[in-house]
Amino acid sequence: MNKNNLLDCPTFLKDFLFYLETIRGLSSRTVDGYYIDLRTFLRFVKMHKLAAFQNTPFEEIPIADVDIALLKTVTLSDIYEYMYFLTSTRENNAATRARKVTSLRTFYKYLTTKANLLSENPVKDLDVPNKKKSLPKYLTLDQSIQLLEHVDSSYPERDYCILTLFLNCGMRLSELVGIDLKDFADSTVRVTGKGNKERILYLNEACMDALNAYLQVRQNISNNIKDRDALFISRNGKRIDKRRVQQIVSASLKSAGLDQMGYSTHKLRHTAATLMYQQGHVDIRVLKEILGHVNIGTTEIYTHVSNEQIKEASTRSPLAHIHKTEKTKKAED
């Protein structure tokens, strides 16, 4: 959590953010997101409820003086006004509004059931805005192979290993850069996902080959390694950062001629999940554990069918090879 965010927070909001980070175990980045969402909400409450702030530029409305007494006046109707404000004035899309509803729900649940500062929860019956459901972008099997054959790098063993782990394990970017050497045991690796939750991933033959090839090269520069625990290190011997991994993926996509298709580091996670489900026939419940999803509903986006599967299904129809006969032609005449 960015400590600067606490400077303009009322006490109850500071306590809530500390609760998210220390008790719920959420990452600093996620906690900062809650802060931004709730700062917007508290600014709206002051603008909506207090005449003195109706003409104040929205971004200049302070929130440090918001008290529980003001929050007690907030009703479900006020929340609907807030949602309309997000749509019409802030121009937030459905996904952003849905995230802010989640922030409000968590916040008010804390105030009513954890801190016992409020007796009524005005958002308990608030619906989440419908989000547009879009299919995840992913590389085909052939494109994935093409990518692995076009590692554009002065450190090819490391970068090939990074791409191989992404495409075979479906790990998140933050999980990959956080891997330490001690996280490996036999043919498994322990990664730390969202909410500091650990899970074990099994490494197949391709992953083990790529990993062993990289570790041999890594050993050759051991005298220059500063972050000795880190698996993936940069040329200066420090743990590789997220931005550098993104650059590696982008360069390889460009080398493979796939850079104009909207693919990114996270799309490699989508690729791994989709190929496991479609071509590896991995059960969705197993896939949920591999990806580290809390709810199976999140995993279900990977159960979409490809155009090729739709085409194949149509050819399997028992009527697929029935053609017009002389009898049917006469009947038409």
Burial of 104: CB neighbours in 10 Å, binned 0-12, 13-18, 19+: buried
CA distances from 253 to 144, 163, 261, 279 (A): 10, 10, 9, 22
Strands 184-185 and 198-202: unpaired
Structure tokens at 51: 């005449």
154 alpha carbon, distance to own chain's centre:
30
Mean pLDDT of the chain: 84
Which of 116-125, 168-177, 219-228, 247-256 has the least mean pLDDT?
A: 219-228
pLDDT in tens, 222-258: 667 888 899 999 888 889 999 999 999 999 999 988 8
User: What is the C-alpha to C-alpha distance for residues 23 and 7, in angstroms, rounded to an integer?
Assistant: 21
User: What is the C-alpha to C-alpha distance for residues 37 and 70, in angstroms, rounded to an integer?
Assistant: 18
Burial of 225: CB neighbours in 10 Å, binned 0-12, 13-18, 19+: middle
Q: What is the pLDDT of residue 164?
A: 92
At residue 10 the predicted structure's pLDDT band, cuts being 50, 70 and 90, is very high
Name residues whose C-beta falls within 8 Å of residue 5's C-beta, 6 or more positions apart in sequence.
17, 32, 35
Structure tokens at 246: 């993104």
Residues with catalytic function: 172, 194, 266, 269, 293, 302
Name residues whose C-beta falls within 8 Å of residue 117's C-beta, 6 or more positions apart in sequence.
12, 68, 71, 111
Comparing 133 with 36, which gets the higher pLDDT?
36
Q: What is the pLDDT of residue 132?
A: 57
pLDDT in tens, 322-332: 665 555 455 45
User: Does the structure show a pLDDT above 90 at 45?
Assistant: yes
Mean pLDDT of 83-99: 89
pLDDT in tens, 267-302: 888 888 888 877 777 777 877 877 777 666 666 666
Comparing 240 with 129, which gets the higher pLDDT?
240
Phi, psi of 44 (to 5 degrees): -65, -45
Which of 60-69, 86-95, 131-140, 181-190 has the least mean pLDDT?
A: 131-140
201 beta partners: 189
Range with top average pLDDT, 12-26, 273-287, 297-311:
12-26
